[in-house]
Amino acid sequence: MDSGDPFSLDEPMKTPSVRKSGMATSRWRGAVFLDRDQTLNIDHGYTHLVDDFAWMPGAPEALAQFHRHGISCFIVTNQGGIGRQFYTDAQMQEFNDHLMAQTVLAGGHIQDITHCPHHPEAPTPAMQTPCECRKPAPGMLLELAGKWNVDLTESVMIGDRESDVIAGRAAGCHAYLFDGSDLSGLARQVIDRHFTGSHGGDNV
């Protein structure tokens, strides 16, 4: 037995979803919200075909790093191409499934993906903006935070556009603009600044 264990054992066991009369009582924690196109995968313009999938530089390593640190990752993505009828919701799902599978192969995990199908030039009124979800609006982050007990003030949004940063800040998160060069370098910075302290003991 190691008597120098710095962690006290009287802390309650972490039970992910203890339910009391239907209410989740799991602790609210920070998370990372990621834009999809040109942040995780290269954007060819309304990217939706699995054959067109390719990682942005450092993206698989970044996802693996977040996972190693126990940080939940979510994708929040504007998919106005659905509203414009350039591709279907099912095609986007297929692309997202592929992205999630590739993430697992890279040693990462994406907890959930939310998309906004709306667009100013959508031919049908129901698919037109304004809506609460299209970034720079914070709707997608707020939705995921409620669904997964995410503490937005402890969370970080990362994306390649100013609208990603604005959405993140509007949701109360820290936000970083990704310049496209190396997502794993940015991930390391984000982990050091926002997650290492609160995870006491992590020093990977």
Binding residues vs Mg ion (CB under 5 A): 35, 37-38, 160
Could you tell which of Mg ion, Zn ion, none binds residue 35, using a CB distance below 5 to 8 A set by kind? Mg ion
> How far is the CA of 185 from the CAs of 61, 100, 110, 181, 182, in angstroms?
9, 21, 19, 9, 6
| Distance in angstroms (rounded) separating the CA atoms of residues 191 and 82 | 34
Respond yes or no: is residue 37 known to be catalytic: yes
Respond yes or no: is residue 35 known to be catalytic: yes
| Distance in angstroms (rounded) separating the CA atoms of residues 71 and 6 | 22
Shortest spacing between CB 29 and Mg ion, in angstroms: 25
Could you tell which of Mg ion, Zn ion, none binds residue 115, using a CB distance below 5 to 8 A set by kind? none
Q: How many CB atoms lie within 10 A of CB 189?
A: 12
Catalytic member of 5, 10, 35, 112 = 35
Shortest spacing between CB 16 and Mg ion, in angstroms: 31
Could you tell which of Zn ion, Mg ion, none binds residue 38, using a CB distance below 5 to 8 A set by kind? Mg ion
Shortest spacing between CB 176 and Zn ion, in angstroms: 23
| Distance in angstroms (rounded) separating the CA atoms of residues 105 and 166 | 31
Cβ closest to Zn ion, residue 106 vs residue 166: 166
Give the residue numbers annotated as catalytic, written as ranges: 35, 37
